[in-house]
Chains A and B, each alone.
Chain A
Amino acid sequence: MSKVIAIAARDLKSWLHSFSFYLLAVFFLGVAGYFFWSGLSYFSLVSYQVATNPKLQVVSLNLTEGVLSSFLASLAAVLLLLIPVLTMRSLAEEKSQGTLELLFTYPISDVQIVIGKFLSLLALVFLLVSPTIAYFFLARAVGAKFETVSLLTGYGGLLLVGASFVALGLLMSSLVERQAVSAGIGFAILLFFWIVGWMAEWTSPTLGIVFKEMSLVEHFRDLGRGIVDTKDLAFFILFISFFLFATLSTLEIRTWKK
């Protein structure tokens, strides 16, 4: 375990020492802030209208439904774009500079390498995402109170989605040495898993169910509203395990020329 942490810490440090991480962080937090603000102001507009129009009183409005879930969905979409950029270096760089050869001959296993890489990227995603919680405290200052439980489940779900993106990106970085290409393909595949549920409507009912079940968005929907369903959790864990396992298998082949 200490070796896994050593690997994770090295990668994390290397990112935190690079300018590009701060550039990504500023971009992410800026976009997130915009989404949050526009979501909140739209919500307040609607609730004002509801309050002043007696005919609409029947609609019950709540902040979790109205703001939190759509905000988290937008964050997930931004992560979809960002995470391939974070993951593209991970194994590809070790390969191209040859240091993977060192790792492969030290007394550590391939599993430790993959888990270490995965954890370092997960920590990066956590560092990107967690400051956005501050927005909810700011919102509280102007009177918008969010339920803590839905906030926590929502963010937990966001991290699970992030972890899924990371696992897929890691596989790409083990397969594709050209980093830009790796990020591009990773983004395309993630996008597919994101929107595959929408295609469900246009296909046969049976295929539609399959598509819906594969969709990351469908499984994130309830978590984003603060509802924990074991089926969704199982899906994410399966998704992550599958791509980590695939990464491991590509490392075990060791067929690259140098």
Chain B
Amino acid sequence: MISVQNVSKFFGPIKALQNITFEIKRGEVVGFLGPNGAGKTTMMRLITGFFPPSEGQVLIDGKDLCKSKSEIRRKIGYLPENNPLYRDMTAKDFLSYVAQLKGISFRTQKTAIQKTAEQCGVESVFNRLVGKLSKGYQQRLGLAQALLGDPELLILDEPTNGLDPKQIVEMRNLIQLLRHERTILLSTHILSEVQMTCERVLILNEGKMAADLELKSIEASLEDIFLKVVNKEVELCQK
């Protein structure tokens, strides 16, 4: 589904990503780990077509993102870091705006919004202003905008960031429900979350791929592995 080939991204002198290569198969749920500034957000922005790579290419279903933009973007649902939302709209207006921009046909819009809102549990706050919602509801709404249009691929950048423990559990359960028939790439700082939701983990460190592991295959705790990888004691790319 996703094929990242020798990708680098530079911001002036800053090398945010260097020569990254990996593949994610259809239906895989992959955790994306790495210390702050490792380049996770940058990698996700490349996959969503937010900006193009400086070198290399990103293919989604074999197609270059930079070439057939609209067609590929329709397949991707993206929850950016910090969950940006239009605070001056009601939740309902916001979702119908997103539905319009995603090109969901006028006739099916209402059912699509209804279905997504139910899935994410935001119907009860439909008529409230987004800016007045609690952090937990805002996060659900962010997930709802990503899910509109039923994308096959979900890119979630720290979806549990800033939530309280109860909200984290709710969010995790929600993501569990979404995994059917979907490919998910999820970045987080919570290692247990990866262990509970993902089958595979990618660890990024200082802009380089430091580990690519099936979770089944590891014996030590993920925490040990993470620390070793980040301190550059080992490198664990299976391929």
A residues lining the B interface (CB < 8 Å): 2-3, 6-7, 10, 14, 17-18, 97-99, 101-109, 254-255, 258
Residues of A within 8 A of B89 (CB): 10, 14
Residues A106 and B98 in contact, CB atoms below 8 Å apart: yes
Residues of B within 8 A of A17 (CB): 88
Residues B88 and A105 in contact, CB atoms below 8 Å apart: no
Given contacts A2-B100, A3-B101, 6 further A-B contacts (CB under 8 A): A10-B89, A14-B89, A104-B50, A105-B48, A107-B70, A258-B82
B73 contact from A2, A6, A18, A107, Cβ within 8 A: A107
Residues of A within 8 A of B88 (CB): 14, 17-18
Question: Which of chain B's residues has its CB closest to A108's CB?
Answer: B101
Residues B102 and A107 in contact, CB atoms below 8 Å apart: yes
Residues of A within 8 A of B82 (CB): 98, 258
Residues of B within 8 A of A98 (CB): 80, 82, 84
Kindly state whether residue B226 has any CB partner on chain A within 8 Å. Answer: no
Residues of A within 8 A of B73 (CB): 105-107
A-B contact pairs, 15 of them (CB 8 A): A6-B101, A10-B86, A14-B88, A99-B85, A102-B78, A102-B98, A104-B49, A105-B49, A105-B73, A105-B78, A105-B80, A106-B101, A106-B102, A107-B73, A109-B70
Q: How far is the CA of A215 from the CA of B32 in the complex (A)?
A: 55
Residues A254 and B84 in contact, CB atoms below 8 Å apart: no
Residues A6 and B100 in contact, CB atoms below 8 Å apart: yes
Question: Which of chain A's residues has its CB closest to B94's CB?
Answer: A10
**CB proximity of A13 to chain B, nearest CB, Å:** 8
Residues of B within 8 A of A18 (CB): 88
**CB proximity of A116 to chain B, nearest CB, Å:** 10
Residues of B within 8 A of A105 (CB): 48-50, 73, 76, 78, 80
Residues B101 and A101 in contact, CB atoms below 8 Å apart: no
Question: Which of chain A's residues has its CB closest to B80's CB?
Answer: A101
A99 contact from B48, B50, B84, Cβ within 8 A: B84
Question: Which of chain B's residues has its CB closest to A3's CB?
Answer: B101
Residues of B within 8 A of A103 (CB): 101
**CB proximity of A91 to chain B, nearest CB, Å:** 14
Residues of A within 8 A of B102 (CB): 106-107
Kindly state whether residue B37 has any CB partner on chain A within 8 Å. Answer: no
**CB proximity of B19 to chain A, nearest CB, Å:** 22
Residues of B within 8 A of A102 (CB): 78, 80, 84, 98, 145
Residues of B within 8 A of A3 (CB): 100-101, 103
Of A14, A103, A104, A254, most B-chain CB atoms within 10 Å: A104
Q: How far is the CA of A10 from the CA of B70 in the complex (A)?
A: 21
A107 contact from B50, B74, B80, B84, Cβ within 8 A: B74
Residues of B within 8 A of A99 (CB): 84-86
A106-B73, A107-B73 in contact; A101/B50 too (CB < 8 A)? yes
Residues of A within 8 A of B97 (CB): 6, 10
A104-B50, A255-B11 in contact; A97/B74 too (CB < 8 A)? no
